[in-house]
Amino acid sequence: MRNASGESSASALSPVVGGPAPLTETSVASLRGVGRTYTMGTNQVHALADFSFDFKAGEYWSIMGSSGSGKSTLLNILGCIDRPTAGDYYLAGQHVNSLDDDELSSLRGQALGFIFQSYNLIPQLNVLENILVPVLYRDGVSSTSTARGMALAERVGLAERLDHRPSELSGGQQQRVAIARALVNDPALILADEATGNLDSQTAAEILDLFDELHAEGKTILLVTHEPHIGERTEGRLQLKDGQIADARHGRA
């Protein structure tokens, strides 16, 4: 499979640890011959098969495909939630296959920001506390991280709602909290899974505008979506079918 093309604004990546070299020096996430097979009774399901691709720093890709195409499996592997059964995966220069569970958890907290369709906020925590959850698990909350959390809340338009809990927010506001939470550790890669799926069209457009702004600032974003009009907004479009790449297009249409 061919790699993504085009220039991108990349920051220096950590040295590669273990395994063969990644696909390019500017890779944020590289998959080389990745496969994922699940055993279901006496059957084996090949959710991904010989999947090779290179997501470069600063790129904005949509990942599309019908149900069963491999989108969720790919997202789980990219997010270090699941491990491949074949091939090699690199994230921010680290050879994921060689990491133990503790190292994998640490890398996930440092290099990844997650945005989910259902927001996944903690109902007992207020806006600022939810934004700071990744910091709490990584290094503990400090005055510096609190200031960053407040700045991010302002960035997503929630500076006046720091003390509000999720139940007191609209769906769009909850997703803005989730976006700020994804940014708090300044991750190398943002993974957004159907991030506008629970939103009305106007609010969804506002969230996509925010993604556009983050991309313009050099953030690397992978957005899983089944909506063609959303896929058309991204810099690259990756179409999956039967666990393989059916089409990959980079650059505005």
Q: What is the value of pTM for the model shown?
A: 0.87
Q: Which domains does the chain have, with CATH numbers?
A: 58-75+106-250 (3.40.50.300)
Q: What is the pLDDT of residues 79-109, one digit of tens each?
A: 999 999 999 999 998 999 999 999 999 999 9
Q: What is the pLDDT of residues 155-195, one digit of tens each?
A: 999 999 999 999 999 999 999 999 999 999 999 999 999 99
**Which three-class secondary structure string do you get for the chain?**
CCCCCCCCCCCCCCCCECCCCCCCCCEEEEEEEEEEEEEECCEEEEEEEEEEEEEECCCEEEEECCCCCCHHHHHHHHCCCCCCCEEEEEECCEEHHHCCHHHHHHHHHHHEEEEECCCCCCCCCCHHHHHCHHHHHHCCCCHHHHHHHHHHHHHCCCHHHCCCCHHHCCHHHHHHHHHHHHHCCCCCEEEEECCCCCCCHHHHHHHHHHHHHHHHCCCCEEEECCCHHHHCCCCEEEEEECCEEEEEEECCC
